[in-house]
Structure 1
Amino acid sequence: MSVITTQRHGEVLVIISDNPPVNALGQAVRAGLAAGIAEAAGDDAIKAVVIRCEGRTFFAGADITEFGKPPVGPSLPEVVDAIEQCRKPVVAAIHGTALGGGLEVALGCHYRIAIPSAKLGLPEVKLGLLPGAGGTQRLPRVAGVADALTMIVSGNPVTAARALEIGLVDRVADAGSLADAAIAFAREVAGAAGHPVSSLRTDRIAEAANHPQVFDKFIAENSRKLHGFDAPKACIEAVRAAVELPFEQGVKLERDLFMKLVSGTQSRAMRHLFFAERQAAKIDGIPADTPVIDIARVGILGAGTMGGGIAMNFLSAGLPVTLVEREQAALDRGVATIRKNYERTAARGRMTTEQVEQAMGLLTPTLDYGDLADCDLVIEAVFELMEIKKEVFRRLDGIVKPGAILASNTSYLNIDEMAAETERPEAVVGLHFFSPANIMRLLEVVRGASTSPSVLKTVMGLAKRIGKIAVVSGVCPGFIGNRMLSPRQTEAQKLLLEGATPWEVDAALTEFGFPMGPFQMADLAGLDLGWTAEGSTSSTIREVLCERGRRGQKTSKGFYDYDENRRGSPSPETETIIADFAAKSGLPQRKFSGDEIRERLLYPMINEGAKILEEGMAQRASDIDIVWLNGYGWPAFTGGPMFWADTIGLKVVLEGLARHARALGPDFTVSSLLRSKAEAGETFN
């Protein structure tokens, strides 16, 4: 069966795509669209054309599996040009999403009609690319330069209502009558003397032509978001060309920029992450017919920062939550914080007041453990101490109904030890949410030695339901993310004793693309996490900082000094404290380049990632990349730590580790997997 068919409704030819799941614009679809337009052009009885899609969406983008393969015509730019050059009006009927090449097809049409739930966007920048079928040239001409810049550079779609406001769609139709409404629209415009041709329009770009500073202003306002990324800068250059150059020259520049990006390392890295995120959801060794457990109510033990944030994920997804605390005051604080977070979201226009009340109405706060009895999943978020965790699991095992899942939010501790305290070790799993839990997308799912396939499949599906990106980890100290963070933190502390300053170390990582360095991160989290005045021995830099009241941003001083806007600056007091420790260490002091600091911090992480793979603690190297991208701010344009290692060469990493062997110390060992792959010229991915 052809993926493109045509139907005649009197004088209107309807071109229909049926290419599940998302009507991707593969070669067969492109050829079918071109043939449909040719059919309409060659038939005098046809006065207008409608292009629509079956299934759940309009064309949702190019066929990404064709990237890197020899092109087979017709190309998408040729198809879009053919649509636009049709002398009979063409109407795009949009439902679901019109994304990437899908929106470029719609822009080639003379008119666009959409249902209220439709979304339209050009997300190519998220793959390190720009729209390559005229999107950067037509969108500014149709929707205006300001909105086109925002859409193309962010990659975020707009709603049908917003698209109507900016002129991107001409009409919004009822969801149930889109096909008929599009045909009626086509009949209405069939007799018009002329039809709007996107590439010929100049009305929406005239203001920017007279005030070109709009581009400099946009760059200045978004400089932090653009830092390090090639694609957004190319997108801005292409949109500027739409204002300053004739359409044909602008399209040529767009194509040149596209080809440069598609062959570059950044786009390869971001396409790697696109596929890696989908791969992470797949669990090795679990049959497709493995049954899942119905999760109708979730219990959370602990109403603190983590417990409250975890609860919000389920409440927002419409799942009832029982929230348990030991003391009324702590419970009240937790509930108040949840409400405050929701109300803040509503104030920003991302929720309605009714949605806030719906979410809060699903929450049952209680001091009674017994109220967890009927929950299908219970997650403990109590203090990170094994003896406390064990006691919690013993107690939960005796209360929660048989068949329910018991989970720990631990970030480091052994899940198997907790499971051993229960009569249902097969039902115990780790669910490591990242802080703030209601915002961070990453969820490390820790598979214990006894965790059943059904439990694992259930929680992976549940993660998707609550909007998380889940990655499976085995049981080891720190799992994937924190285990790899540990050697980085160790080397950062060593560097301070060898002559590097905290701001030099941080700068080396922010220059690489991280949002902050290890000492900025420590100040943000609070240096007194796990520290007490009673137990302090002045034996580490952090302890002395805490003893002097330098506990991070919350006290306006930590490694850095902070002003009233929490802007940090180098601290002379911190330098003195570090100098004292460096003198006691007896280590020679010297200056470090940014490259050397990055090698010392990042190469040991790669080595630890390789150990995680060789021990089977991660299913695949790309899973490690997903953890670090979504949980720790690793720059997306490098593809994650393991992909970045592949890019620079594993031999380079191995040689770097050898070069820094003395500084890394006698206890540091090189991963056999890293060594073997480097020597064989292989990669992790």
Structure 2
Amino acid sequence: MSVITTRKEDGLLIVSSNNPPVNALGQAVRAGLAAAIKEASGDSEVRAVVIRCEGRTFFAGADITEFGKPPVGPSLPEVVDLIEASTKPVVAAIHGTALGGGLEVALGCHYRIAVPSAKLGLPEVKLGILPGAGGTQRLPRIVGVGDALQMIVTGDPIGAKKAADIGLVDRLADESALDADAIVFAKEIAGKASHPKSSERADKISEAAANPQVFEDFKQKNAKRLRGFEAPAACIEAVRAAVELPYADGVKKERTLFMKLVMGDQSKALRHVFFSERAASKIDDIPADTALIPIKKVGVLGAGTMGGGISMNFLSAGLPVTILEREQEALDRGVGIIRKNYERTASRGKMTDVQVEKAMGLLTPTLSYDDLADCDLVIEAVFENMDVKKEVLKTLDSIVKDGAILATNTSYLDVDEIAAVTKRPESVIGLHFFSPANIMRLLEIVRGDKTSASVLKTSMALSKQIKKVAVVAGVCHGFIGNRMLRQRQDQAQAIILEGAKPWDVDRVLTEFGLPMGPFQMADLAGLDLGWSKETSSSSTVREVLCERDRRGQKTGKGFYDYDENRRGSPSEEVEEIIAEFAAKSGKEQRDVSDQEILERLLYPMVNEGAKILEEGKAQRASDIDIVWLNGYGWPAYTGGPMFWADTVGLQSIVDGLKKHETAFGSGFEISKLLKEKAANGETFN
């Protein structure tokens, strides 16, 4: 059966796409659309055309299975141009999502009608490219430069109601009557003498033509968000071309920019991220017919920052949560913070007051373990101490119903050791949320030796329900993310004793693209985390800083000195402390280059990632990338640490590790897998 079919009805040609699951614009779809438009043009009985899609969505973008393969015509730009050039008016009937090439098809149509729930967008920038079928030239002409920049440069979709407000959608249809309303609309416009062609419009770009400062203003307003990315700057340049050049020349400019981006490292990295997120959800050794455990009620132990954040994930997904604390005051405080978080979200227009109350209505605070008995999943978010966590799991094991999942939110500890204190180790799993848990996308799912397939599969499915990006990790100290982080942190502490300044270390990593360096992060978290005044012995720089009440941003000084707005500046006192400590340690101070800082801090992370793969603690190198991209702010345009290592060259990584081997200490070893791949000219991905 053809993916594109046509039928005539009352002087209209109804063109339907049926290419599940998302009507991707593959070659057969493109060819079918081109043939349908030619059919309409050659049939004197046809007065107008309606393009619609079967299934759950309008064209949702390119066919990702064609990525990296030689192109087969007709190309999407050719099809869109053909639609716009049609002598019969064409109406796009939009439901679900019209994204990327799908929206470009709609832009080529003379009119657009959409149901209110539809979403429209040009997300290509998120793959490191820009719309390449005239999208950067047509959209500004339809909606104006300001709205076009927002959509194209951020890649974020907009709802149909907003699209109607800005002129992208000509009419809103009844939610359940799109086809009928589209046919009525097409009949209305069929008799018009002329029809708007997006490429010929100039009214919406005249203001920007008179005031080109709009482009610089947009850049400045979004500078922080766009820092380091190449595609957004190219998108701005393409939209500027729509204003300054004739349409045909603007399209040529768009194509030139598109080809430069698609061949560049950033686009390759961002496409790697796109596919890697999807790969991470696949667990290789779990049978497809493994049954899921129904999760209808969740229990959370601990109403602190982490427990409250974890609870919000489930409440927001519509799942009832019972939250347990030891004391009423702590419980009230935790519930109050959850409400404040929701109310803050509502004040920004991202939730309604009704949604806030609905979420809070699903929350049951308690001081009694017994109230967790009928939960299907219980997550402990108590103090990071093995004895404490074992005691909690023992108690839960004795109270919570059989068949329920018992989860630990540990970030370092041995999940197998925790599971061993229960009578049901097969029901125990690690669910390592990242703080703030209601915001951070990453969820490390730690698979114990005895964790059952159904518990693991259920946890993965649940992660999608609460809108997390989940990665499966094996049991080892720190799992994937924190195990690699330890390598970086150790080198950061070592290198400042050799002469590198903390602010230079941080600068090198922020220039690389990380949101903050290790010393900025330490000051933000608080240097006194895990520090005790009673047992402090001035044995590390951190201990000395804490002893001098330099405990981070909260005390106005840590590795940095802070002003009233918490802006940090280099500290002479810290330089003196480090110099004294280095002298006591016998470390000779020297100039340390930016390149050495980068190699010393990042290359050991890659090495540790390779060891994680060697040991089978991660399924694939791309899973490691996803952990670091979503949990630690690794810059997406480098693809993650393992993909970045591929672009640097694995032999260069090995050579760098050998060069600094003495600085890494006597226990350091280069991964066997890393050495083998480097020697064979291979890559991780």
Mark yes or no: TM-score above 0.5: yes
Rounded Cα–Cα distance in structure 2 between residues aligned with 1:664 and 1:311: 41
Q: Secondary structure at the match of 2:203?
A: coil
- 1:65: how far off? 2.1
- 2:288 maps to 288
- 1:562: how far off? 1.6
- 1:516: how far off? 0.8
- 2:274 maps to 274
- 1:563 maps to 563
Quick check: 1:52 aligned with 2:52? yes
- 2:441 maps to 441
- 1:102 maps to 102
Rounded Cα–Cα distance in structure 2 between residues aligned with 1:351 and 1:578: 48
- 2:186 maps to 186
- 1:147 maps to 147
Structure 2: which amino acid aligns with 1:675? K
Q: Secondary structure at the match of 1:72?
A: coil
Rounded Cα–Cα distance in structure 2 between residues aligned with 1:105 and 1:553: 51
Q: Deviations over 1:293-328 (max 9, x none)?
A: 000100000111000000000000000001000011
- 1:559: how far off? 1.0
Rounded Cα–Cα distance in structure 1 between residues aligned with 2:35 and 2:592: 63
- 1:195: how far off? 0.8
Quick check: 1:308 aligned with 2:308? yes
Of 575-584 and 246-255, deviating more is 575-584
- 1:661 maps to 661
Rounded Cα–Cα distance in structure 2 between residues aligned with 1:228 and 1:594: 18
Q: Secondary structure at the match of 2:611?
A: helix
Rounded Cα–Cα distance in structure 1 between residues aligned with 2:116 and 2:444: 36
Structure 1: which amino acid aligns with 2:137? Q
Q: Deviations over 1:506-556 (max 9, x none)?
A: 011111111111111111111111112122111111111112222112222
Moved beyond 2 Å, runs of 4+: none
- 1:199 maps to 199
- 1:515 maps to 515
Structure 2: which amino acid aligns with 1:321? V
Q: Secondary structure at the match of 2:497?
A: helix
Structure 2: which amino acid aligns with 1:135? G
Q: Secondary structure at the match of 1:15?
A: strand
Q: Secondary structure at the match of 1:308?
A: helix
Gaps of 5+ in 1: none
Quick check: 1:613 aligned with 2:603? no
Structure 2: which amino acid aligns with 1:492? A
- 2:209 maps to 209
Q: What is the total number of aligned residue pairs between the two structures?
A: 685
Quick check: 1:545 aligned with 2:545? yes
Q: Deviations over 1:126-169 (max 9, x none)?
A: 00000000000000000110010011110000000110111010
Structure 2: which amino acid aligns with 1:611? K
Of 178-187 and 581-590, deviating more is 581-590
- 1:450 maps to 450
- 1:564: how far off? 2.1
- 2:125 maps to 125
Of 552-561 and 382-391, deviating more is 552-561
Quick check: 1:500 aligned with 2:500? yes
Rounded Cα–Cα distance in structure 1 between residues aligned with 2:403 and 2:118: 40
Output the TM-score relative to the length of structure 2.
0.99
- 1:563: how far off? 1.8
Rounded Cα–Cα distance in structure 2 between residues aligned with 1:595 and 1:123: 34
Q: Secondary structure at the match of 1:16?
A: strand
- 2:414 maps to 414
Structure 2: which amino acid aligns with 1:463? S
Rounded Cα–Cα distance in structure 1 between residues aligned with 2:523 and 2:292: 42
Rounded Cα–Cα distance in structure 2 between residues aligned with 1:569 and 1:8: 72
- 2:337 maps to 337
How many percent identity over aligned positions? 74
Rounded Cα–Cα distance in structure 1 between residues aligned with 2:616 and 2:296: 33
- 1:623 maps to 623
Write out aligned runs for 1:421-436 (5 A): 421-436=421-436
Rounded Cα–Cα distance in structure 2 between residues aligned with 1:553 and 1:161: 44
Rounded Cα–Cα distance in structure 2 between residues aligned with 1:562 and 1:141: 48
Of 217-226 and 396-405, deviating more is 217-226
Quick check: 1:112 aligned with 2:112? yes
Rounded Cα–Cα distance in structure 2 between residues aligned with 1:536 and 1:123: 52
- 1:67: how far off? 2.1
Structure 1: which amino acid aligns with 2:207? E
Rounded Cα–Cα distance in structure 1 between residues aligned with 2:450 and 2:159: 46
- 2:77 maps to 77
Structure 2: which amino acid aligns with 1:402? D
Structure 2: which amino acid aligns with 1:528? D
Rounded Cα–Cα distance in structure 2 between residues aligned with 1:532 and 1:333: 25
- 1:353 maps to 353
- 1:262 maps to 262
Structure 2: which amino acid aligns with 1:657? L
Q: Secondary structure at the match of 2:444?
A: strand
- 1:209: how far off? 0.2
Q: Secondary structure at the match of 1:204?
A: helix
Structure 1: which amino acid aligns with 2:504? E
Q: Deviations over 1:201-255 (max 9, x none)?
A: 0000000000000001111111111111110110010000000001001100100
Rounded Cα–Cα distance in structure 1 between residues aligned with 2:555 and 2:270: 38
- 1:575 maps to 575
- 1:585: how far off? 1.7
Rounded Cα–Cα distance in structure 1 between residues aligned with 2:649 and 2:443: 29
Q: Secondary structure at the match of 2:113?
A: strand
